[in-house]
Chain A
Amino acid sequence: MGLADLILKGTTSASDSDAPLFSFNQKRRDLVREVAARVYNTNLSKSRTNNSALEYVLNETAIQEIERLKSEQGLEEEVRDISWWRGMARRLGTMSEPEKRSILRELIDSYVDDTAGKFNPNVYSFASGALPIGFGLFFKTQDLNSLGDAFLHARSGLRDLRDLSERIVVEGHIDTMQHLVKKGTIVVVPTHSSNMDSILLGWALESVGLPPVTYGAGKNLFVNPLTRFFMYNLGAYKVDRRLRHQLYKDVLKNYSQVLSEWGFHSLFFPGGTRCRSNIVESKLKLGLLGTSVSAYTRNLQSGDDKRIYIVPATINYNLVLEAESLIREHLKREGKSRYFLENDEFDQLSIIAKFVLNTVGMRSTTVIRFGQPMDPFGNLVEADGESYDSNGRRIDPKTYVQSIKTGDFVEDEQRDRRYTRHTGARIAEAFKTNTVLQPSAIVAFSIFETLAARYPRTDVYELLRFATNERISFAELTPVLTRVLEKLRTLEADEKVRLSETASSITKLLDEGIESLTSFHIPQILVPQGTGLSVDRLDLLYFYGNRVRTFKIGNVVEKT
């Protein structure tokens, strides 16, 4: 019996659960049909006002796909290969209208079917229980042989792994969420630093008794048979970020909208991709967020007042698995943001193993914090499921999508874009106020600022290139750290940020910060040397310190 059989057979039946995702498989076919029909009809309606609309859509899609496939031949499955696109583009000029429609319909069907996931309660049950030791499931099978003694003999490490649940703190407005999942559909919108995020969040939700959510996962995570098995069966839907054409964007938006309309709790990262700089994200992509307004309106139009709740969340790591490649990418400033990083740490088993073993042995915790839920219009929502404005007045969210003139529930693209921008700004604020600053970030920031003050005429990029082998004494660092902490505590008192529990004492903060910054990364970011520290990785120091830099606390180094 293989692993898949074992898991699929399962021992725990969760089918009696009333969580919407548990009924996903029964509804999958209808869902795919509905999404495909909507995308097709939207494109068809364009062709009624513009005779060449279908040709334009197919041509634009073909051009973009041919260009992409010429330079990109990844491991991911393609919906259509390059020869199909070329053939279709060549024939397009002579195609009849019914033929164009037929090709468009088939193409949309393929994209939607490729996007839609599945949900298997047994896999969910297994994965939830196994996650504390389940990071291994994300290892590439071909890398298993390279595990070596470091992993197999690290018994203490494995023991620590089993205690992982104690090292992840899930906090915030959990009670409110527990009420809201019974009243409506929740859409979790977290910060994004690592490919581990969706896995950890899935576990976090389960650990506090919240139902599973469906989420968009990069198509690259479906390449590995093992990860594909779990992604497919845990309700993840496929997002191929290499595809830039409008037709695919329409598929994704409609898929996300129908999920919300049909009451499936979901999760997506409004930052779009992992944050390269480690600054708390403020520039959010609003496309998918906007689908919550459309979904709510459509439900109201069909007489269903089921609410949709947006839940901002922050994931606060002490160490980020992919820190090195993320900051490298950020510093390169390539201008165009590539989603796929070559040789990312997430693809390398040995690095994940090392990360897990090193970090579980540390005292620090990862904090997942859920902010106060809001409605699709950015108003805060309480546990009663009702929306309240900034002055605490209860408001009816239905009125936002009513026509001023007639009172009917109407979709209005311009209006909804305005609402979504507003909600996006509220989410960005919530990201900041729910950020829990970890010791690694505070210590890294303090050390970097101290070093930067030594070179007042040098900008960050020059500093990163030229300042090597710097040494900093504890006597020099402590006063800076004290000032940083004072400023952060003032912000915390104003509820503008949160500090890790360790920040209650400078000594604990420094110890834990140094412990983190001397673990995992090779070469080490810091190397303790007698009465001070040698700084070997200024770029990573900058990366971790950026979390604090988000809060613009001003000068913290006194001029001598």
Chain B
Amino acid sequence: MRIATIGSGERLNIVKSLMKQNKVEHLSLNLSKKGIKKSDELENCFLIFLAVAPEDVRECCRAIAPFVTGRHAIVHLVHALESQSQQTLSRVLENELSTQRFAFLSGPMCLNDVQSKLPSSAICATQFGEIHEIVAECLSSPTFRVYRSSDLVGAEIAAVYARVIAFCAGIAFELGESVKSMIVARGLSEASHLVSRLKGDLRTPFGLSGLANLHLALGDNPSLDTQLGTGLTHSNWKKTKATKTHFSSFQNLVLNLKVASENAGLSAPILTAANELVQKKMSAEEAMAALMSLPIQNDF
């Protein structure tokens, strides 16, 4: 069976690196303004790893749709929602492609660790057992484990929420570990409520796609989202490694998640504060003060 990758980014590089380690051959394709070169070769590639910007997903789908059949499995690695619909990427794929076999690959993966063959893991969220089997076959090694979940929507939302929580925790870096821990716990609680409303499993945010991603983002090498938060406490994100493009896409991500949360009938204080901050409607101090003055609720 042939395998293809479409797109770029660190997560896709990890997948490629793991396949290389396992001597799994694959076709590497890229989405450009002219479409995807050699897309017709996808006809015989029944497993496709997809990592393109959320705003490009539909265009990418349209480019590959003529070659995708019900047999194809698409595994996406995108930690974002689509701006146009505020839907998870698997829903967008479902709308655009004739196959129904989708999966989301996420988890605390770090390219350096994988290349150094340090122990690490991922989660393959899918309702299709065969996809998990094949993905595990391609990526697993003595130092890399692929866990399994059938909660596709839960894993996708948890991964996106983890980015927002990382950002908010970044803001709190200078305010002490206590407030950072509080934001992590309350943020995961918010994520869990949203996942539950979207008919996912409310425990999923506390797994590899949520908590583990978050832990990695707040670790020794903070993620760009965390750095954005820290930068904003100094009123200057430009001092961070985050690019303008990243900042702008993160603004969209927070807004999309907020709309999805509102559509689900939830009030999400941490998400709201994050949105006010990235839209520059509130300073970090104001956001923290607003969060600390909210009525006390049950922990979970």
Known: A377-B100, A422-B100. A415 touches B129 (CB 8 A): yes
When the two chains form their complex, are residues A395 and B127 in contact, meaning their CB atoms are under 8 A apart? Answer: no
The reply to whether the CB of A90 lies closer than 8 angstroms to some CB of chain B is: no
For residue B96, which residues in chain A have a CB less than 8 angstroms away from its CB?
Answer: 391
When the two chains form their complex, are residues B1 and A412 in contact, meaning their CB atoms are under 8 A apart? Answer: no
Select one of B95, B127, B134 contacting A405, CB under 8 A: B134
When the two chains form their complex, are residues A418 and B71 in contact, meaning their CB atoms are under 8 A apart? Answer: no
Give A406's nearest chain B residue, CB to CB: B1
For residue B65, which residues in chain A have a CB less than 8 angstroms away from its CB?
Answer: 391, 393
Interface residues of A in 375-411 (CB under 8 A from B): 377, 379, 389-391, 393, 395-407
For residue A407, which residues in chain B have a CB less than 8 angstroms away from its CB?
Answer: 71
When the two chains form their complex, are residues B128 and A415 in contact, meaning their CB atoms are under 8 A apart? Answer: yes
For residue B1, which residues in chain A have a CB less than 8 angstroms away from its CB?
Answer: 404-406
Known: A393-B65, A404-B101. A412 touches B130 (CB 8 A): yes
When the two chains form their complex, are residues B129 and A400 in contact, meaning their CB atoms are under 8 A apart? Answer: no
When the two chains form their complex, are residues A404 and B70 in contact, meaning their CB atoms are under 8 A apart? Answer: no
Give A417's nearest chain B residue, CB to CB: B127
For residue A415, which residues in chain B have a CB less than 8 angstroms away from its CB?
Answer: 101, 128-130
Give the docked Cα–Cα distance between A331 and B134 (Å): 50
The reply to whether the CB of A414 lies closer than 8 angstroms to some CB of chain B is: yes
When the two chains form their complex, are residues A397 and B130 in contact, meaning their CB atoms are under 8 A apart? Answer: no
Give the docked Cα–Cα distance between A520 and B129 (Å): 54
For residue B128, which residues in chain A have a CB less than 8 angstroms away from its CB?
Answer: 412, 414-415, 418
Select one of A393, A399, A414, A419 contacting B71, CB under 8 A: A399
Interface residues of A in 257-304 (CB under 8 A from B): none
Interface residues of B in 20-54 (CB under 8 A from A): 46-47
When the two chains form their complex, are residues A400 and B70 in contact, meaning their CB atoms are under 8 A apart? Answer: yes
Give the docked Cα–Cα distance between A379 and B47 (Å): 22
- Report the interface size for chain B: residues with CB under 8 A from the other chain: 23
The reply to whether the CB of B278 lies closer than 8 angstroms to some CB of chain A is: no
What's the least CB distance linking B120 to chain A, in Å?
A: 25
Select one of A391, A398, A401, A404 contacting B131, CB under 8 A: A404
Q: Mark B118-154, 1 if CB is under 8 A from A, else 0.
A: 0000000001111100100000000000000000000
For residue B95, which residues in chain A have a CB less than 8 angstroms away from its CB?
Answer: 390
Give the docked Cα–Cα distance between A444 and B77 (Å): 51
Give the docked Cα–Cα distance between A414 and B98 (Å): 19
For residue B46, which residues in chain A have a CB less than 8 angstroms away from its CB?
Answer: 404-405
Give the docked Cα–Cα distance between A402 and B70 (Å): 8
For residue B73, which residues in chain A have a CB less than 8 angstroms away from its CB?
Answer: 404
Give the docked Cα–Cα distance between A59 and B276 (Å): 62
What's the least CB distance linking A100 to chain B, in Å?
A: 32
For residue B69, which residues in chain A have a CB less than 8 angstroms away from its CB?
Answer: 395-396, 399
- Report the interface size for chain A: residues with CB under 8 A from the other chain: 25
Select one of B71, B97, B127 contacting A400, CB under 8 A: B71
The reply to whether the CB of B9 lies closer than 8 angstroms to some CB of chain A is: no
What's the least CB distance linking B98 to chain A, in Å?
A: 4
For residue B99, which residues in chain A have a CB less than 8 angstroms away from its CB?
Answer: 399-400
Question: Could you say which of A377, A393, A398, A418 has the most chain B C-beta atoms within 10 Å of its C-beta?
Answer: A418
Known: A389-B98, A405-B1. A395 touches B130 (CB 8 A): no
When the two chains form their complex, are residues A418 and B127 in contact, meaning their CB atoms are under 8 A apart? Answer: yes
Known: A403-B130, A404-B131. A419 touches B98 (CB 8 A): no
For residue B72, which residues in chain A have a CB less than 8 angstroms away from its CB?
Answer: 399, 404
Select one of A398, A400, A401, A404 contacting B47, CB under 8 A: A404
When the two chains form their complex, are residues B70 and A396 in contact, meaning their CB atoms are under 8 A apart? Answer: yes
Give A401's nearest chain B residue, CB to CB: B70
What's the least CB distance linking A293 to chain B, in Å?
A: 12
Q: Mark B55-84, 1 if CB is under 8 A from A, else 0.
A: 000000000011001111100000000000
Give the docked Cα–Cα distance between A391 and B128 (Å): 24
For residue B131, which residues in chain A have a CB less than 8 angstroms away from its CB?
Answer: 404
When the two chains form their complex, are residues B134 and A414 in contact, meaning their CB atoms are under 8 A apart? Answer: no
Give the docked Cα–Cα distance between A391 and B95 (Å): 9
What's the least CB distance linking B140 to chain A, in Å?
A: 15
Give the docked Cα–Cα distance between A92 and B72 (Å): 49
For residue A412, which residues in chain B have a CB less than 8 angstroms away from its CB?
Answer: 128-130
Interface residues of B in 84-109 (CB under 8 A from A): 95-101
For residue B101, which residues in chain A have a CB less than 8 angstroms away from its CB?
Answer: 404, 415
What's the least CB distance linking A446 to chain B, in Å?
A: 28
What's the least CB distance linking A536 to chain B, in Å?
A: 38
Give the docked Cα–Cα distance between A63 and B89 (Å): 48
Give the docked Cα–Cα distance between A117 and B74 (Å): 45
When the two chains form their complex, are residues A414 and B100 in contact, meaning their CB atoms are under 8 A apart? Answer: no
What's the least CB distance linking B180 to chain A, in Å?
A: 39
Known: A395-B70, A404-B71. A414 touches B47 (CB 8 A): no
Question: Could you say which of B97, B100, B130 has the most chain A C-beta atoms within 10 Å of its C-beta?
Answer: B100
Give B1's nearest chain A residue, CB to CB: A405
Select one of B66, B70, B127, B129 contacting A399, CB under 8 A: B70
Question: Could you say which of B65, B66, B70, B99 has the most chain A C-beta atoms within 10 Å of its C-beta?
Answer: B70
When the two chains form their complex, are residues A414 and B129 in contact, meaning their CB atoms are under 8 A apart? Answer: yes
When the two chains form their complex, are residues B70 and A377 in contact, meaning their CB atoms are under 8 A apart? Answer: yes
Give the docked Cα–Cα distance between A406 and B98 (Å): 19
Question: Could you say which of B66, B95, B98, B127 has the most chain A C-beta atoms within 10 Å of its C-beta?
Answer: B98
What's the least CB distance linking A390 to chain B, in Å?
A: 7
What's the least CB distance linking A420 to chain B, in Å?
A: 11
Give the docked Cα–Cα distance between A154 and B147 (Å): 73
What's the least CB distance linking A411 to chain B, in Å?
A: 12
Give the docked Cα–Cα distance between A333 and B28 (Å): 58
Give the docked Cα–Cα distance between A422 and B95 (Å): 12
For residue B129, which residues in chain A have a CB less than 8 angstroms away from its CB?
Answer: 412, 414-415
What's the least CB distance linking B107 to chain A, in Å?
A: 22
For residue B97, which residues in chain A have a CB less than 8 angstroms away from its CB?
Answer: 389
Give the docked Cα–Cα distance between A403 and B71 (Å): 7
What's the least CB distance linking A76 to chain B, in Å?
A: 39
Give the docked Cα–Cα distance between A398 and B134 (Å): 20
Give the docked Cα–Cα distance between A142 and B148 (Å): 62
Give the docked Cα–Cα distance between A377 and B69 (Å): 13
Give A402's nearest chain B residue, CB to CB: B71
Give the docked Cα–Cα distance between A95 and B78 (Å): 58
Give the docked Cα–Cα distance between A124 and B97 (Å): 44
Select one of B66, B100, B130 contacting A393, CB under 8 A: B66
Give the docked Cα–Cα distance between A396 and B101 (Å): 15
- A sample of 17 more A-B contacts (CB under 8 A), given A391-B65, A391-B96, A400-B100, is A389-B97, A398-B70, A399-B72, A400-B70, A400-B71, A401-B70, A402-B70, A403-B71, A403-B130, A404-B1, A404-B46, A405-B46, A407-B71, A412-B130, A414-B128, A415-B101, A418-B100
Chain B residues in the interface with A (C-beta under 8 A): 1, 46-47, 65-66, 69-73, 95-101, 127-131, 134
CB pairs A–B below 8 angstroms (15 shown): A377-B70, A391-B96, A396-B69, A397-B70, A399-B72, A400-B100, A403-B71, A404-B71, A404-B73, A404-B131, A404-B134, A412-B129, A414-B128, A415-B130, A422-B100
**Complex A-B, nearest 7 residue pairs according to Cβ-Cβ distance, in ascending order:** A400-B70, A399-B70, A399-B69, A389-B98, A399-B71, A402-B71, A395-B98
